[in-house]
Amino acid sequence: MSVHTAAAAPSVHAPLPVLGRDVTVPLVTGGEVTYAALDYAASAPALQRVWDDVAAYAPYYGSVHRGAGYLSQLSTDLFENARATVAAFLGCREDDEVVFTRSTTDSLNLLARALPAGCEVFVFETEHHAALLPWRDARVTCLDAPRTPRQAVETLERALAGRDAGAPALVCVTGASNVTGELWPVRELATAAHAHGARIVLDAAQLAPHHPVSVAELDVDWVALSGHKLYAPFGAGVLAGRADWLTGAEPYLAGGGASRSVSRRQDGGVDVEWHAGAARHEAGSPNVVGAYALASACRALTEAGFDTLVARERHLISRVRTGLAEVPEVRVLSLFGDEAPRVGVLSFVVEGWNSSHFAAALSAEYGIGVRDGLFCAHPLVRTLLGSAPRAQGECGAPEAAPGEKSLNAIRVSFGAGTPDEHVDRFVDAVRELVRDGAKWRYRTENGRCVPAV
Ligand code: PLP
């Protein structure tokens, strides 16, 4: 029996079909427009293909790893096949483990719990909090934001130089920034890490939806990603990579599925023999639908072809950049400079505007969904803005007086499902808002900027 739906051949220039592409939303100024979802970096819409695959599987849903029935066996096969599909998608080595988790945050916390004793962790201040914060039980060295990819490698080399190469160390680095979209020199950082006896984990939350990722070619030890950013919003994530630290660690969660054998001791205690491999860290009933959806997304992106997807995204990035460059009040945030290769994620500030106000107006008056704030990367955004933490101003009043640093930024992000029309509408809306101002009044409610009525 096959539960996969047939792949419709995608046109080179067409976006991949996603759910919600025809959803209309009301405008405060009256009428409705098709929603332009430009917050892919937070959560991307589900690919239609993923949805169809999940719907085709749904009647066959059954318990995983435990049941003797036909549907249990089918679900178990699909779950384990999903693991193999994800391993192939990520270019894993033969003996790598693929552990299903809930998300990138969960994956990195799992790895943090598997660090060997005395492990030192090196991380740039530019990381998303999911990559910056899980290492709280280790000695953490937080590195300055580099201003070029070369400087990133040099900074890491300097930090690692002189350490005892026999002692365990881990470098955690993003593949593509969730703030600037810029690509990081992962292969070079991996070489530097390994030269100094350290291991490296790649946070591919923003990279994998936009670019091919090969664990083997990048020579990283682990990779973490989230299904909901990879067009598969069904609650699954992945940590894939070397087995040894994972097998050497206590199970992430203790419970059924992680235990091979459990017995009661004479003295009343409980003895347990844990599984090795992925099962060790997947206690409890696994999220088979999430894993299946994630594998479906991997298949869909592979079949669409990353050459095509990357070319299309470059075209969208160029449209946005060209459009924003024509608005002198807009400053696009960047670590590595305008020409640095990036994915479809751009953050910017608008002179004289409160970013929250601007994003609220894009939503309420134009039906365009972007994000505002510090994007769970507070140190990076503050470095890019050159601002120190301070109280948020009232919405509607410019947060940054002329010459004053902005507190927050606006982020626009897009991907495989984004039509040209959405980015064009966005650029036109930015131009119009800057020129004419907001048409509506806004107020602050629970820290968010919302239309006054
Ligand atoms: N890493 C990066 C670069 C991200 O952009 C995000 C989420 O925005 C995460 C990690 C955390 O992902 P999740 O919230 O799915 O755990």
pLDDT in tens, 269-314: 999 999 999 999 999 999 999 999 999 999 999 999 999 999 999 9
CATH number of the domain to which 175 belongs: 3.40.640.10
What was the pLDDT predicted at 11?
43
Pocket test for ligand 1, best of 105, 239, 345 (most atoms within 8 A of CB): 105
Same domain for 417 and 430? yes
Give the active site residues: 376
Same domain for 335 and 261? no
pLDDT band at 404 (very low <50, low <70, confident <90, very high): low
> Range of 337's domain?
24-46+305-451
CA-based angle 31:37:38, to the nearest 5? 125
Give residues with Cβ within 8 angstroms of 6, minimum separation 6. Answer: none
Please identify, by atom number, the ligand 1 atom nearest to the C-alpha of residue 176.
3
Which stretches of 219-354 are DSSP H helices? Answer: 244-248, 288-304, 306-325
CATH number of the domain to which 389 belongs: 3.90.1150.10
pLDDT band at 446 (very low <50, low <70, confident <90, very high): confident
Please tell me the distance between residue 236's alpha carbon and the centre of ligand 1 in angstroms.
Answer: 13
Give residues with Cβ within 8 angstroms of 212, minimum separation 6. Answer: 91, 306
Ligand 1 pocket, 226 CB below 6 A?
yes
Ligand 1 pocket, 203 CB below 6 A?
yes
Same domain for 270 and 390? no
The last residue of a domain, from among 284, 303, 322? 303
Assigned domain for 12 exists: no
What was the pLDDT predicted at 9?
45
378-392 tens-digit pLDDT: 999 999 998 766 555
How many Å is the Cα radius of gyration of the chain?
23
What was the pLDDT predicted at 390?
59
Q: d(Cα 38, Cα 102) in Å, to the nearest integer?
A: 23
Counted domains in the chain: 2
Residue 361 or 164, more confident? 361
Terminal alpha carbon distance of the chain: 54
Same domain for 37 and 102? no
The structure tokens listed for 118 are 């005395």
Same domain for 416 and 346? yes
Please tell me the distance between residue 164's alpha carbon and the centre of ligand 1 in angstroms.
Answer: 31
Overall average pLDDT of the 110-120 stretch: 97
Same domain for 253 and 323? no
Assigned domain for 349 exists: yes
Ligand 1 pocket, 413 CB below 6 A?
no
User: Which of 81, 316, 111 has its CA nearest to residue 210?
Assistant: 316
Assigned domain for 68 exists: yes
Give residues with Cβ within 8 angstroms of 152, minimum separation 6. Answer: 124, 146, 184, 185, 189
Q: What is the DSSP string of 196-230?
A: TT-EEEEE-TTTTTTS---HHHHT-SEEEEEGGGT
The last residue of a domain, from among 303, 331, 350? 303
The structure tokens listed for 250 are 């206590």
Q: What is the DSSP string of 138-172?
A: SEEEEEPPPSSHHHHHHHHHHHHTTS-TTS-EEEE
Assigned domain for 18 exists: no
Q: d(Cα 294, Cα 217) in Å, to the nearest integer?
A: 22
Assigned domain for 8 exists: no
Same domain for 78 and 226? yes
| Mean of pLDDT over the chain | 93
What was the pLDDT predicted at 254?
96
The answer to whether the beta carbons of residues 422 and 37 sit under 8 Å apart is yes
Give residues with Cβ within 8 angstroms of 125, minimum separation 6. Answer: 132, 142, 143, 144, 145, 379, 380, 383
Given a cut of 70, whether residue 4 has pLDDT beyond it is no
Given a cut of 90, whether residue 221 has pLDDT beyond it is yes
Ligand 1 pocket, 174 CB below 6 A?
yes
Same domain for 290 and 355? no
Ligand 1 pocket, 105 CB below 6 A?
yes
The phi, psi pair for 58, rounded to 5°, reads -50, -45
For a pLDDT cut of 70, what percent of the chain falls above it?
93
Same domain for 29 and 87? no
pLDDT band at 132 (very low <50, low <70, confident <90, very high): very high
Ligand 1: residue whose CA is nearest its atom 14: 105
Which stretches of 90-125 are DSSP H helices? Answer: 104-113
What was the pLDDT predicted at 1?
47
Q: How many CB atoms lie within 10 A of CB 434?
A: 17
Residue type present at position 383: T
Ligand 1 pocket, 107 CB below 6 A?
no
Given a cut of 80, whether residue 184 has pLDDT beyond it is yes
Same domain for 265 and 361? no
Assigned domain for 315 exists: yes
What was the pLDDT predicted at 235?
98
Please tell me the distance between residue 433's alpha carbon and the centre of ligand 1 in angstroms.
Answer: 30
The answer to whether the beta carbons of residues 196 and 169 sit under 8 Å apart is yes
